[in-house]
Structure formats: structure tokens, C-alpha cells
Structure 1
Amino acid sequence: MRALIQRVARASVSVEGETVAAIDAGLLVLLGVTHTDDEATADRLADKVAALRIFEDADGKMNEPLGPDREVLVVSQFTLYGDGRKGNRPSFVAAARPEQAEPLYERFRARLNAQGGRFGAHMEVELVNDGPVTLLLELP
């Protein structure tokens, strides 16, 4: 499971011109699921995201975790498993099939009490970075 995590001042996701989720300060998480992922992987990664100390404390140092005052928006992103090493067209064979990925995406989202995009839809994601701070996390 891979997560691209962006600390944001605000973020939103729209489907067919309709805003389906929006947050203020917090994290935008683009989440990719692979074939070997399971519920335990989703739980471990969600817990890691919640515990990351990437918000500034009173001294301006990145030392604070997500906490209850910040929001999370999670968007499914199978392209995080795109492999472009050969040729010019990425291969997505490492991405899990939707019937496996969607329940794990929903579990991850629920564990973080996060808003979400619409799984499998063509989404437009807007964000205003805070920092910018962007991290890539991956769990086997």
C-alpha cells in the first residue's frame, strides 16, 4: 500500500462538477492499493499517517501529529502503482483490482475518520499546499 501525503491548507475533490468532499487544514492522502495488501496493512498505514509528526508546534518545528483539529481527505489513486520503467506507457499490473482495493480504501478512510473521493470515478482534486510538505509512505 502506498500513500502520497500532502499537508494542505485546504483541499477538495469533485466528480462531474459536483464537490463530493472538502477539508480545511489537514492532510490530502492519495492512496494506492496493491495485490498483497490486506486489512492489517490498511490499518497500519492509517495509524502511521495519523501519528506522523509533520505539523508545526509552537516553536515552528514539524513535531505535531494530525490531532483532532485537522481533517483528512483520502482519494483512491491506482496510478501510484504505475510502472514506467519500460517504454512510454505505464503498466498498472501492480495495482489491485477494484473489488480488492475499494474495501481496503474504505477501511483506511474510516480508520482516519476521513472524507473521501468517489472510488473509481474520474475526479478533479484541488489543493492548497501548506509548506509544501509532501511524503510518500509505503508498507509491504
Structure 2
Amino acid sequence: MKRKATAVWKGTIKEGKGNLSTQSGVLDNTPYNFKMRFEDEKGTNPEELIGAAHSGCFTMQLSANLTEAGFDPEKLETKAEITFKDGTVSQSHLILKAKVSGIEKSKFDELVEDAKKNCPISRLLDTEITLTSELVS
């Protein structure tokens, strides 16, 4: 399986503009620029998209881990905080809030750690990955 995305950029780094498109059409000439990435202008940026990809991938991997272990996840909510510093993505911090009935905390922690290490996006990222999790009843 291959998934595709395209970026088109015109102009200088600060005054230029670009757009992003994905094979699925979810992003279709979605604009991005310097102010969206490094300042507070509304719009998307590569780091935000990495966060969405990482949180989505991790959450699906955790769901698979829980299901394979015999647990039915009621709700898994993951937020990703991507740190971009000195021209490098230096960290992805995942914040998980999960509702899973009948699971012991130690088993939950084991499955969470496995998902953090083994989701395909975690394996792709060459950066520090940290995580905090909360199991709610």
C-alpha cells in the first residue's frame, strides 16, 4: 500500500505560499505559509499534520493491542504535542485518556507502551517520543 500527498510552494520562505493535497482529498489545495507555521496565522502546518498522524496511528495501534488482549476499548482519546525547535522536530508527546472496562492498570500500561513503540508512525519518527496516560472509569 502507498499513500500520497503533494506540496506545492511558490515564492520565498517568508512571503511565499504553498498548498497541500492528499490522495484521499481530505486536504485539497489546503494553504500553508510561514505565518501559519511559525506565527499565529490560522491554517495548517507540517508539524500539526505530524501530530495528527502520530496521534491517529498510536490510537489505532492501541485499539488493536487492547482488542487482541481481549479488552473492548470504549473510548481512546490521544492528543499529540509536537515540539519544533532549532529547525528540528525534537519531540512528540502523546497524551492519552482512555476508557477500557475490566483492565488492570499494569496490563493497560504494557499495551500502551507497546503501541507507543510499535505504531508505524512512531517507528518512522526519528525523535524522542514521550507519553502520559490516564485510565478512566
Q: Provide the TM-score with structure 2 as the length reference.
A: 0.30
Larger Rg: 2
Comparing both chains, which one has the higher relative contact order based on Cα–Cα distances under 8 Å and sequence gaps of 6 or more? 1
More helix per residue: 1 or 2?
2
